[in-house]
Structure 1
Amino acid sequence: MNPDQKKPIVYLSARQVQGCTELAKQLTFFGFECRIFIKQSALLAAMYTEPPFAVLFGEEGLEGSSVEETLLLLQKLSRGPVLYITSALTVVEQIHYVKLGVTDFIYIPLDIQKLIDRLDVLLEKTQNSPYRVLIVDDSETMGRASGSILTQAEMQVQLIKNPLDVFVSLERFVPDIVLMDVYMPQCSGDEMAKVIRQQTRFDSIPIVFLSTETNRNKQLMARSMGGDDFWVKNMPAEELVASVTMTCARYRSLRRWMCCDSLTTLLNHTHIIEWLEREVKRSQKEALSLSFAMVDIDHFKKINDDYGHAIGDKVIKILARLLRHSINGEGAVGRYGGEEFAVVFSETSMIRAAQKLDSWRLRFTELIQMSDDIQFPVTFSAGIADLKNGMNAPQLIDAADSALYQAKHAGRNQVGLCQG
């Protein structure tokens, strides 16, 4: 995790939750800052001074108050979810606690991976970035009017007058949606949409035509050229905001399923390679450093054989989450295949990338892996290479793969550097 970015804070409020200290340690490993409270007074004081992202509250309550009393106070003070740790509850009891402000129930014995997955989902809801809207309209007045409305709705807007500049904005601005005028002097909106659709990497970006055109046949013709919808210009502000919001939300969800691996939610094989290819071109054009790593879980077949494929999948998810949160926007992580991962380190030298990767390796070895009541160690090996003059993406992958082989051959649980 980027040291400049503050970790999400979790308050663990419980007197007798089994393994309370160990739970806090595991949460810390996964990128949360965890603080433990056993007294209500201390918890409430902390809630006033530094409200957490989430509260984990044990069924035995805190010193100095009943469970119900503390939950009612948390309901007034908490800005985020309250997760109730309990052994078992009836439906009637669950409804009772929901009325007291509980948002989720976590059952004992605790499954740390399920808890982390749930916290991730809740955290993602609070961290969604603003929708990015690209407006293509030769009328600056009309474009600015729509842009102003969407900016006031806390969206990020970029306006271009010349549709021939659209590809630069698609590459650099990376919009969630394109709002395009139909009638422009350089080319029509439907013609530009057809050209955009020739580039498969932009397939998941919705293109919506904006026009005063009310002829239904002409609208349908325009949509057949590559547009996803047709909206009439000068629609009420609230309708424009609602339409953009719903469309962006739907397509973000679709993009996630199109681009991401279903088990880990990392970029899938195709899209991590596409990401690397874009970074190679950008790095060569702008003379930037670029490093690439292959990461492989050690003795993974033995894990599956000894503990079962469900445990193997769990180990994959744990490493995926560690890699995803560790890269923290400074590159990209994808599932290359099976138990193998690919990491793109943007604007990073090989030595610096290796230092980061080795620190992640050490963190991974400290995580507790469990199968029933059996603890077992898991490690990973990695190989890393940097972009040389004239090198393309496949060659960079091969170089990192060779470095990974060296790390495996040297005994595993280490980071190998590409030689030469």
Structure 2
Amino acid sequence: MKRSVAFAAALLAGLTSIGSIPGTALADGGGPGYHDDRKGGDHHHGDEGAVFVQTNKAEGNTIKVYDRDEDGRLTKAGEYETGGLGGFTIGAPLDALASQGSLTYHKGLLFAVNAGSNTVTVFRVDGTRLHKLQVIWSGGLLPVSVAARGDLVYVLNAGGEGSVQGFELHKGRLSRIADANRSLGLHNGNPPAFGTAPAQVKIDPDSEFVLVSTKAANVMFSYEIGRHGQLSRNPVISDAGNTPFGFTFDTDDTLLVAESGSNSVSRFELEDDGALDQIGPSVPNGQQATCWIQRVGDFFYVANAGTSTISSYRVNDHGKLELVEGVAADTGGGSIDMTASDGFLYVQNATAGNVQGYEVGKDGSLKLVTTVEGLPKFADSIGMEGIAAS
């Protein structure tokens, strides 16, 4: 087991529950058994849907909505204000929020972080139309990632000490869960530096743990979820590779982690106590700045911002992680976050200011089928970040 014992002891000494600060909710405010995370689908079904893109504009965050036809092509359908402000991390090279999962679709709802105003917006999704239901305090500073499963929602706040805040979801509205706010003890400023900001929060498929990836610490935090959504006082802290960034589950108890420091992907088993055990060696892809990971069927795609490419991986029938293609697609525009729907992979390109859509072949190959332009290009530490699909 790879465990960061000394670092864990130091962190645990400073980990405390953050007291509840009143916030105002505004009225408008590879093989059998694999878990298909974020429901990417493994082939094209011919259904229609929608793709949502978060602009993260500092003067007012918005969500752009695109209609997706049965061939994966996108057409602009509207733009909606979140009621909050976009934000940034200091020294961000391409991705302002330095995170994965800042825009999350779940059970007909869309959750958007407003990093610049420390809030989360909840929309009801009606086809390609959004209806704002709530804007609520995130429980900390600079929210950057949202995880949702069942009636539980957890928000990762990157600013200051960093924190996780849990919410109960009921009839499209969030209410804070008592004893579900935990400090990460990261000692960052606000906004934090890109390299020291936590990257992602996620709930495991069995809803037993909330996991958080860090970067500079090279570890992952696992908080046990209580009966009513409360979080364990202290997390289990495990080594998670070289600068762990985005991660996704491939089975109920195994997950793949994108290591941005080594430009590779590693696979871990989630133990009963929340600890992570690495399964085999990390698998490099020969690209640069491997940060985001998205599953589509039996394949896993990582976005390499430094080389503007997408690499593909799979877990073979023997449970071994292997690289399929180092360059499955050359996006040419600073690839960051991704989403998937109905056998299509959609990629945000920060420097190009566009989103590209790819059809995923049965062999994992990617075929470009659509490009939408006119999105905010990354400049002066800020730009679009966050993408989701219905």
- TM-score, normalisation: structure 2: 0.27
Q: TM-score, normalised by structure 1?
A: 0.25
The structure with the greater share of residues assigned to helix is: 1
Q: Which has the larger radius of gyration?
A: 1
Larger fraction in strand: 2
Higher relative contact order (CA 8 A, sep 6+): 2
